[in-house]
Amino acid sequence: MRLVLLGAPGSGKGTQAARLRDTLGIPHVSTGDLLRAAVKAGTPLGMQAKSVMDAGGLVSDDIVLGMLEERVAQVDAKAGFILDGYPRNVAQCAALEALLERLGQPLDVAVKLEVPNELIVERIAGRAAAEGRLDDTPETVRARLRVYAEQTAPVADHFAEIGKLVTVDGVGELDEVFQRIRKALPA
């Protein structure tokens, strides 16, 4: 199964993706995690990406696509993957489609987690306290939510147009939301 998880920062995508990985036995591919690893390792790409990430902006499409291509080419992704944090804009949608077509591995479904903005801000504040992510400051969070509304929200419209979008209520206990996602997945 190849699936994309969509949702605002703090919508619970990362947590749900990890659960799906454990249940479905396919890797969780998070472009945010790939980028954070590159920053931590101090690679040239990571150094380039760091300031953009700290400001809550989007890292260049080329950099992220390169990392993604490398990741999905690995052997554990042959049986499928859960994509988290990609695509983030309409150009990335087209790049993903082209990549998956080249690999002969079309996307099965895009799942969008819906969570109201007030709750998102609360959740991110909690995560900032727990994980100490540098891009979880109030200003950066506002910037990331703005980027999401302007650039990432249209991604869901694209998947709806091609008939691959399912929308799931992301408010509730983790288990509850997880069960909703499972029910929404194609058999």
Q: Which residues are catalytic?
A: 13, 88, 127, 133, 144
Q: Which residue is nearest to ligand AMP (CB)?
A: 32
Q: How far is the CB of 135 from ligand AMP (least distance, A)?
A: 6
Q: How far is the CB of 185 from ligand AMP (least distance, A)?
A: 21
Q: Which is nearer to ligand AMP, 19 or 144 (CB)?
A: 144
Q: How far is the CB of 53 from ligand AMP (least distance, A)?
A: 4
Residues binding ligand AMP (CB under 6 A): 9, 31-32, 35, 52-53, 56-59, 64, 85-86, 88, 92, 135, 144
Q: Which is nearer to ligand AMP, 139 or 179 (CB)?
A: 139
Give CA–CA dist 37/45, Å, rounded.
11
Q: Which is nearer to ligand AMP, 26 or 38 (CB)?
A: 38
